[in-house]
Amino acid sequence: MAARVFIDGEHGTTGLQIRARLQRRTDIELLSIPEQERRNHGLREEMLNEADVAILCLPEDASREAVAMVEGNSNLRIIDTSTAFRVDPDWVYGFAEMDSSQPDAIRSARLVANPGCFPTGAIGLIRPLRMAGIMPKDYPVSINAISGYTGGGKRLIAQMEDENDPDPISANAFLYGLTLTHKHLPEMKVHNLLDRSQGMIVQSATLHRSTYPETGDPVGPRNSCHALSGETVGLRRAARNKQHIGPDRC
């Protein structure tokens, strides 16, 4: 019997992308509700409890509401794409390459929190340095990221693409997140094994999709962090939990 999968929020930006990929598969059955019924609480609850796997493509509060609908259903496996559960200890973080034990943890988990776009890039860069002993846990990391505008959802897409939009955006790029309180900071702190929240400023550019995070270099002699000349750190190598450069090198 094919596994039944319900995408709660299938008509949004993320849900449409996931559905397009899953539709190609013949080993699963996709459950669906009409777009006009997407806010029908009773129908959503029915679909969630009928499914074997639920993929939540919803805002944070709506994801929490959906999880509450199936609180007594221990057979349902859930993948949440919002920020709601990414640092929740009861949920497994869905970044398989992050750690040597992560693939098995994801495979056996009932509750999986899908990593954010910016954190995926930042963790891929920073966590290997932490696990290799190159970067101390109190290192003042700063992150400058460039995002495609689809990350802003339907409203930003319309502003960037529709010339008749009442509030169009014509700039090639613009900054946001200048308060350094971006919603992805908590998961980047936790899963990068850092003791402090790092700063993050985001630029949205005229790219349909793509995210390019970069780590900044803080100023000050006590903040320097270095390795042997020519040393490289790969994510897969670092994920094996083998410290190949001692922490005394920082």
CA gap 236, 36 in Å, rounded: 44
The DSSP-derived string for 172-234 is: SEEEE-TTS--TTHHHHHHHTT-SSPPEEEEEEES-SS-EEEEEE---SGGG----STT----
Return the number of other C-beta atoms located less than 10 Å from residue 106's C-beta.
Answer: 16
CA-based R_g, the chain, Å: 20
Residues forming the active site:
117
**Which residue type sits at 51?**
A
- Those residues with Cβ within 8 angstroms of residue 154's Cβ, 6 or more apart along the chain or in another chain: 12, 13
Nearest to 80 by CA among 187, 236, 152: 187
